[in-house]
Amino acid sequence: MKKMMHLFFLLLLMFSSACVGDLLSWEVDLEERPEGEVCFLRGTLFDLKKTKGGELSNIMQNGQVNSQAFQSRLASYLKKWETREFARYYRWREMLYADFFYMPFACETLESKMILQKEHSEPTGLVILYSGRVKSPVSGKIRFCGVGDDYLGVHFAGETVLESRNGGYVTGKSIEVKENECYQLNIAIANERGSIGYALLWKAEHQPAHQQPYLFRTSLRLPEKTNSSAPPLPDFEPDSPIWFSIDSWW
């Protein structure tokens, strides 16, 4: 029964991909995996411009997102990485699914692919949260790295290991992992205003110095490369190992 539900859900995601597009990464690969392993992380979008009832929130001031208020609410969340910090704000009704995190810098891309028009909203004042358990593909010391505008953060095995703000490329702290061991992973993406873009990569200690970092991904898919991103996103190693995702739903 679980296997039938799993297959049905994956087929549903593939059917939905034509509507949503690559940003939400609905397309999944159907390679054989042990029961309980899936090809994505689940995510939720919070629109801080509105209350959970749909009215304008205290984040807004004179028709614009108040930077201090937005940053204060984001900082409160990052202290414990608990979604209750956003309980008073509007939560997008659709759940998100992603198998990599690599988004060129462009407001219009976010607006079109996340179908925010249906929410009568703009791609500002947003916080997108992903979470799940993942299996490490390697043993040894690794570092998450990447870029996020306005914010990209990674909370791994109970600690914040990467934070990138305002489009700066950052290499996070060294962490020890074991191959095939499960770890809780939380990813936060935030956009106060302006363009949005992010890339989540990682490096293994044993990688040669000249080799590009790996793309963090939970399936065989790779993002489409584009020349339209300004600034350009960092390159990554195409043959990137897969962090299998373990979803408790199954």
User: Does residue 7 register a pLDDT over 50?
Assistant: no
8-45 tens-digit pLDDT = 333 333 333 322 333 333 333 334 445 556 688 999 99
138-156 tens-digit pLDDT = 999 999 999 999 999 999 9
Range of the domain at 211: 2-246
* Token pair listed for 85: 């910090």
**Strand-pair category, 126-135 with 41-51:** antiparallel
Q: How many CB atoms lie within 10 A of CB 211?
A: 11
Rounded distance between C-alpha atoms, residue 36 and residue 31, angstroms: 13
pLDDT of residue 170: 97
Number of domain units in the chain: 1
Rounded distance between C-alpha atoms, residue 69 and residue 57, angstroms: 10
pLDDT of residue 59: 95
Q: How many CB atoms lie within 10 A of CB 164?
A: 24
pLDDT confidence band for 222 (50 / 70 / 90): very high
SS (H, E, C) 94-112: CCEEECECEECCCHHHHHH
More confident: 117 or 177: 177
Of 11-15, 80-84, 198-202, 215-219, least confident by mean pLDDT is: 11-15
Query: Distances in Å between the alpha carbon of 33 and those of 8, 36, 180?
Result: 15, 8, 13
**What CATH number does the domain containing 82 carry?**
2.60.120.380
pLDDT of residue 108: 58
pLDDT confidence band for 109 (50 / 70 / 90): low
183-214 tens-digit pLDDT = 999 999 999 988 788 999 999 988 888 899 99
